[in-house]
Amino acid sequence: MAIDVPAQPEFGEPLPVEAAPEVLAFLARRRSASALSLRGPGPSAGEIETLIRLAARVPDHGKLFPWRFLVLEGEAKAAMAEKLAVMAKNRTDAPKATAALGKFSLPPVAICVVSRIMPGDIPEWEQVLSAGAVCSTLLNAASAMGYGANWITDWYSTDEAAKAVIGVRPGDRVAGIIYIGTPAEAPLERVRPEVGRLISRPEAG
Ligand SMILES: Cc1cc2nc3c(=O)[nH]c(=O)nc-3n(C[C@H](O)[C@H](O)[C@H](O)COP(=O)(O)O)c2cc1C
């Protein structure tokens, strides 16, 4: 695979605003792959680092970097899946919670994007939105690299004991877990909104 990605620009380097037709074509057809369809190969360590570097280039009011990345893969991820399976069995929604773990277990790589609110003047809402932007960018970057990817939360993103199993610090929130791998089959287009119905042009109130 090994796609060349430009290095991080130098601080203060001019970055001309240019049309990027390939990006528009990508956005016009991008689609998440089912997490259950994802198998190896997944991104290499170098590709994961590149994906996270790209994902961290999002708008971020106050330059607080209010997000962290937990890379879950290999034996560590398998051990987490075993612990989560025990927790799932003890839940009131045990069958559903257990079934949901397939999405955690099967993909070779999962990158958990954590929203960590930083103290100061920047509203929490804006810091959370920035974490969402990180998830979107990571999803798109992984797809643009040729991998299948899906943004999932599921019960283990909000259950405090489960969050601890995957390495989320108390007080941090999971913005999303981006599962990445090679899809067993091409995803099919899903329902999309007629955006005309979502747009209005308000007059001054
Ligand atoms: C914050 C967030 C959390 C999500 N959590 C789940 C989830 O837990 N389970 C699930 O099946 N889909 C979840 N989804 C939806 C998947 O990402 C879904 O496959 C995706 O919306 C497909 O759309 P796309 O092809 O336009 O990317 C979530 C989406 C978002 C934005």
What CATH number has the domain bearing residue 89?
3.40.109.10
Integer Cα distance of 150 and 77 in angstroms: 17
Kindly state whether residue 82 falls inside one of the protein's structural domains.
Answer: yes
Domain containing residue 85: 41-184
For residue 31, the model assigns a pLDDT of: 98
Q: Length of the chain, please?
A: 205
Integer Cα distance of 140 and 55 in angstroms: 9
> What mean pLDDT do residues 126-147 have?
98
Identify the burial level of 167 via C-beta atoms within 10 angstroms of its C-beta, where 0-12 means exposed, 13-18 middle and 19 or more buried. Answer: middle
Kindly state whether residue 52 falls inside one of the protein's structural domains.
Answer: yes
Kindly state whether residue 179 falls inside one of the protein's structural domains.
Answer: yes
Kindly state whether residue 202 falls inside one of the protein's structural domains.
Answer: no
Q: Which of 153, 154, 166, 180 to mutate to test the pocket of ligand 1 (most atoms within 8 A of CB)?
A: 153
**Band of residue 1 on the pLDDT scale cut at 50, 70, 90:** low
**CA nearest to 35, candidates 163, 178, 162, 166:** 178
Kindly state whether residue 11 falls inside one of the protein's structural domains.
Answer: no
Kindly state whether residue 81 falls inside one of the protein's structural domains.
Answer: yes
Please give the distance, rounded to the nearest whole angstrom, from the Cα atom of residue 3 to the centre of ligand 1. Answer: 26
Residue nearest to atom 31 of ligand 1 (CA): 151
> What mean pLDDT do residues 98-118 have?
98
- What's the predicted TM-score (pTM) here? 0.98
Kindly state whether residue 71 falls inside one of the protein's structural domains.
Answer: yes
Please give the distance, rounded to the nearest whole angstrom, from the Cα atom of residue 121 to the centre of ligand 1. Answer: 31
How many domains does the chain fold into? Answer: 1
Pocket of ligand 1 (CB under 6 A): 31-32, 150-154, 176, 190
